[in-house]
Amino acid sequence: MAGKKNFSGVIAPVVTPFGEDGSPDADRFIEHSEWLLEEGCTGLAPFGTNSEANSLGLDERMELLEELVDSGIDAKKLMPGTGMCSTADAAILTQHAVDIGCGGCLMLPPFFYKGVNEEGLFRYYADVIDDVDDDRLRIYLYHIPPVSQVGIPLTLIGRLIKEFPNIVVGLKDSSGDWSNTKAILDAYPGFEVFPGSEVFLLDGLRNGGSGCISATANINPRAIRKVFENWQGPDADTLQAGITATRKAVQAYPMIQVMKALIAHYRNDPVWAKVRPPFTEMAKPDAEKAIQELAEVHGFKLNIPETA
Amino acid sequence: MAGKKNFSGVIAPVVTPFGEDGSPDADRFIEHSEWLLEEGCTGLAPFGTNSEANSLGLDERMELLEELVDSGIDAKKLMPGTGMCSTADAAILTQHAVDIGCGGCLMLPPFFYKGVNEEGLFRYYADVIDDVDDDRLRIYLYHIPPVSQVGIPLTLIGRLIKEFPNIVVGLKDSSGDWSNTKAILDAYPGFEVFPGSEVFLLDGLRNGGSGCISATANINPRAIRKVFENWQGPDADTLQAGITATRKAVQAYPMIQVMKALIAHYRNDPVWAKVRPPFTEMAKPDAEKAIQELAEVHGFKLNIPETA
């Protein structure tokens, strides 16, 4: 593994806004990304699961990423999702991300075919690494079996680290299973492990974790950052309890939709609520009720400026 | 629904050969496609599940399809897979297939996000139809829940037929559940329904089905065609029993790998056995044992010429 860590802290899989016509909206995307960095995110992971990445086309992803870098955001802070079903398309996105200077790539395993063996998954990553053939490449494995169904077993991680020690440098664990995260942390010290939810942020940090890559960092970045900053302090557990409570309150609703509804509401910008198929927006009364419950019952309001 | 059926009979989701360097091999692809049509296939469905479609890149698919049409195969006989996770990429492939004259498109639902609602799936198909905006478009829905996890419920089929009667004209049912196929046939007379396995060919035909779109049509086209030709004759059940037995014998092995191993063996062309990640080839002794068992125990040999 590379000696120096590329990423640490609080990383948001940036939600992707769509314009009136349904196409990705670069202006809103940049505005939200800038706000996330100002509010405490240490990095951004565009094109994660909660970014509706898999509802975007290859070209749309590459264009949005270029717009983000062109806007002045430091590419080193970006860890775009580049894993696809095919090595061919994954290599295109990965090469593109490396070429524009991204600090890392978050790579799903190939997720269409189920029940495949570990050797096949190894070859997928190895083929992409071989195709891209670039020393700057840093891969973060993306383990999210509840959605992708195809997961990344502990032994595969070890084999990839051994074969590509300077390239396969970390992992996002969205299994929701702390025992799996703990097993990875214990097995591969120095590997950059990010739980996929801030619920496990403090537990992760106390066991050598690097931070978290979490959807709800889109709406609660400052409080999550505070846990990261104070994890060795006396208030760590209290602060963690706060962000855990907010996360649990938010994830009681459809995650992507409620986050977009919150952003739309507090930005006073209804277009933000749009989602792409196969998702559908929350019905307006349901969204209003959710926003109200989060504010009144859970004390959660989104500290985001109204769209100018 | 369109009055005249576009497709009927025996359709093979053509297996995709890879060359020594791992890239799709157009020459072997065309040669196999021509053999399938000579042996009795009435149509071809390149880029199905067993074509390793989801292990191919967007560009690779479009190039292979162009090579196939350029080779002289009638585009009207082609029903390429064009369903992707995103409406954007699905629209690119679908538009391309329509532009080069394909008779239909076989469209997976968006398959990354799980547990999505019917409205979201409807919007995916509606958005692609709207984007392509071409009267020549004919969509065959692809229901394969064992792999895609996301399926196409009966009520969604009805809504799509109602909304797009001249475009959404058929379905491939790879659920493996005859009661589902029967329910679709009963609910939507005139809709072109193809079971995803020849095991259900005769049952389908007796209930208004259009034929079958089946992986094993890659290796047993002539016998399957014979059932289609003779389904109202006195030997229909006996003929059906024969192709069912062969199918069951073949699917006892990893399907894609054993079909490619059979083609490689009988064509005397070892390169044919190559598969892409996330799949791995059968170990050579396992493949040889499978070929021998299929020949000796089940009397199945592949009637295919050796590669010149």
Same domain, B183 and B49: yes
Interchain contact, A123 vs B277, CB within 8 Å: yes
- pLDDT number for residue A308: 73
Residues of chain A found within 8 Å of residue B151, distances taken between Cβ atoms: none
B→A contacts (Cβ < 8 Å), by residue, are: 22, 49, 54-60, 85-89, 92, 109-114, 116-117, 119-121, 123-124, 127, 146-150, 276-280
Kindly report, residue by residue over B267-288, the tens digit of the pLDDT: 999 999 999 999 999 999 999 9
Question: Can you give the pLDDT at residue A4?
Answer: 63
Per-residue b/e over A235-244, b at no fewer than 16 CB within 10 Å? Answer: ebeebbebbb
pLDDT at A5: 76
Residues B86 and B113: beta-carbon distance below 8 Å: no
pLDDT of residue B307: 85
Same domain, B229 and B285: no
How much is the mean pLDDT over chain A?
97
B-chain residue closest to A118, CA distance? B278
Q: What is the distance between the alpha carbons of residues A138 and B173, in angstroms, rounded to a whole number? A: 41
Q: What mean pLDDT value characterizes chain B? A: 97
B109 and B193 co-located in one domain: yes
Q: pLDDT at position A1, please? A: 42
Query: Mean per-residue pLDDT for A73-86?
Result: 98
Q: Please tell me the distance from the alpha carbon of residue B54 to that of residue A108, in angstroms, as a whole number.
A: 14
**Is A24 part of any domain?**
yes
The pTM of the full predicted model, rounded to 2 decimals, is 0.97
Residue A107 lies inside a defined structural domain of this protein: yes
B66 and B131 share a domain? Answer: yes
CA distance A123 to chain B (A): 6
| Same-domain check for residues B93 and B190 | yes
Instruction: Give Cβ neighbours of residue A55 (< 8 Å, ≥ 6 apart).
Output: A276, A277, A278, A279, B85, B86, B87, B88, B110, B112, B113
Q: Is residue A23 part of a domain?
A: yes
Residue B298 to residue B92: CA distance in whole angstroms? 43
| Percent of chain A whose predicted confidence (pLDDT) is above 90 | 97
Same-domain check for residues B172 and B127: yes
The answer to whether residue A293 is domain-embedded is no
Q: What is the pLDDT along chain B (308 residues), one digit of tens a residue?
A: 444 678 999 999 999 999 999 999 999 999 999 999 999 999 999 999 999 999 999 999 999 999 999 999 999 999 999 999 999 999 999 999 999 999 999 999 999 999 999 999 999 999 999 999 999 999 999 999 999 999 999 999 999 999 999 999 999 999 999 999 999 999 999 999 999 999 999 999 999 999 999 999 999 999 999 999 999 999 999 999 999 999 999 999 999 999 999 999 999 999 999 999 999 999 999 999 999 999 999 999 999 999 87
Residues of B in contact with A117 (CB under 8 A): 278, 280
The reply to whether A266 belongs to the active site is: no
Q: State the smallest CA–CA distance between residue B51 and chain A in angstroms.
A: 12
Domain end, chosen from B187, B204, B233, is at B233
The domain tally of chain B equals 2
pLDDT of residue B6: 85
pLDDT at B4: 63
Whole-number pLDDT of residue A69? 98
- Under 8 Å CB-to-CB from B204, ≥6 apart: which residues? B181, B185, B193, B194, B195, B210, B211, B212
Residue B243 within any structural domain of the chain: no
Residue A181 lies in a domain: yes
Domain boundary among B233, B262, B289: B233
Compute chain B's Rg from CA coordinates: 18
Domain assignment of residue A300, yes or no = no
State pLDDT tens for residues B21-40: 999 999 999 999 999 999 99
Contact B113 A147 (CB under 8 A): yes
- What is the mean predicted confidence (pLDDT) over A237-242? 98
Among A81, A67, A83, A1, which residue's Cα sits nearest to residue A34?
Answer: A67
Are residues B164 and B281 located together in one domain of the fold? no
- CATH number of the domain where residue B216 is located: 3.20.20.70
CB B169 within 8 A of CB B191: yes
pLDDT at B264: 98
Point out the domain boundary residue: B179, B201, B233.
B233
Asked if residue A277 has pLDDT above 80, the reply is yes
Q: For position A129, what pLDDT does the model report? A: 98
pLDDT at A158 over 70: yes
Looking at the predicted structure, is the pLDDT value of residue A118 above 80?
yes
B115 is a domain residue: yes
How far out from the chain centre does Cα B139 lie? Answer: 14
On whether both B135 and B279 belong to a single domain, the answer is no
Its domain, for residue B53, covers 9-233
